[in-house]
Amino acid sequence: MTKRALITGGAGFIAHHLIGQILKNTDWDVVTLDRLDYSGNLNRLHDLMLSFDPEVRKRVKIVHHDLKAELNPLVRSEIGTVDYVLHLAAGSHVDRSIEYPMEFVLDNVVATCNILEFARTQKDHLERFVYFSTDEVFGPAPNGIKYKENDRYNSTNPYSATKAGGEELAVAYENTYGLPIYITHTMNVFGERQHPEKYIPMCIKRIRDGETVTIHSDSTRTIPGSRHYIHAEDVASAVLFLLNYEGEFEPAWGNAKCPKFNIVGSEELNNLELAQIIAQAQGRELNYDLVDFHSSRPGHDLRYALCGDKMKELGWVPQKSVRERIAEVTKWTLENERWITL
């Protein structure tokens, strides 16, 4: 019998790439739940569906719902029975969380509780619930430090705090109700059709237009901020790898339930190196300004870093180098410029 996956936030950036990978690599049907706000754009799904034949497109069903409200009987009947719940719907813009913290409590904590409650109704046949979290729950990483899956939290903004809260709810639902839950941490995901206010599409546009690119740095304006950037397709491939993994996971410290996994890019890049790769891919000069962004703006950190050893030991690594991915996304974006002018 064909399996069915419910993907929350399916019109969002990462989720639509995950839908694409599911359609390419499985025979599963997909139900996507989305409220279609500033980050949920049906044009993403429309463009994605054009790359598949009509029979494949029939495997995707879109259900409109805002997860701040519990799933009523009509929405539940529209979704039907599912084998997987992949919870990606979330408020994710740090600046917005600083300005509107309560919105993020509703979107990232209350909404997570509502989808977990739905998952309880599927418990008899639910194979896995995956909660998508972020590197930011661990806070800034000093040089030489890469956080492992079960390290302590140190949230520095309402976005990361509410994602950490969602994580703890997911853990509680496994411990209390026996839901089969995985938690993933990803960081600085990029790719085709990303929101134009995000850093990589913004860099692509500014370099194309000959404008100065702001590079976030330390207080001396000499050390750029750094990240482990990763393409959304690599995140999707890691999730499918976990869902299909048939081995046993070593128990976490203290035999904690609810396995956690860091999904990490191939190498750490500072933001100046990133901008230079984008400029080189365009064959253009990079005009940039190092700015002490992090000292002047609360809630933003100079360096984030995750340890990806656990996934490597299980047998998963990104499909391509991050440098190759950035060059490919730059070329694609310039050929599809409406995605940086929306």
Q: Of 84, 131, 159, 199, which is the active-site residue?
A: 159
Dihedral, CA of residue 326, residue 328, residue 329 and residue 333, to nearest 10:
140
Q: Based on the residue annotation, tell me whether 84 is a catalytic residue of this protein.
A: no
Helix ranges (H only) for the chain are 13-25, 42-49, 54-57, 73-79, 94-99, 101-105, 111-121, 158-177, 199-208, 232-244, 271-282, 293-296, 309-314, 322-335
Residue 159 is among the residues annotated as catalytic for this protein: yes
**Per annotation, catalytic residue among 29, 83, 107, 136:** 136
- Name the 3-class secondary structure at 81: coil
The whole-angstrom separation of Cα 118 and Cα 116 is 5
Contact 275, 288 (CB under 8 A): yes
Alpha carbons 110 and 113: distance in angstroms, whole number: 5
Whether the CB-CB separation of 262 and 148 falls below 8 Å is answered with yes
User: 39, 38, 43, 37: which is closest to 65 by C-alpha?
Assistant: 37
- Beta strand 181-186 pairing with 260-263: parallel
Percent helix, strand and coil across the chain, each rounded to 5? Answer: 45, 15, 40
Give the H or E element holding residue 214. Answer: strand 213-216
135 as an active site residue: the answer is: yes
Active-site residue (options: 135, 151, 174, 234)? 135
Q: What value does the CA radius of gyration of the chain take, rounded to a whole number of Å? A: 20
Q: Which of 306, 321, 199 is nearest to 263 (CA)?
A: 306
**CB 105, CB 68: distance < 8 Å:** no
**Core vs surface per residue 135-164: b (16+ CB within 10 A) or e:** bbbbbbbeeeebbbbebebbbbbbbbbbbb
- Give the type of residue at 79: I
Residue 52's CB: how many other CB atoms inside 10 A?
A: 15
Catalytic annotation, residues:
135-136, 159
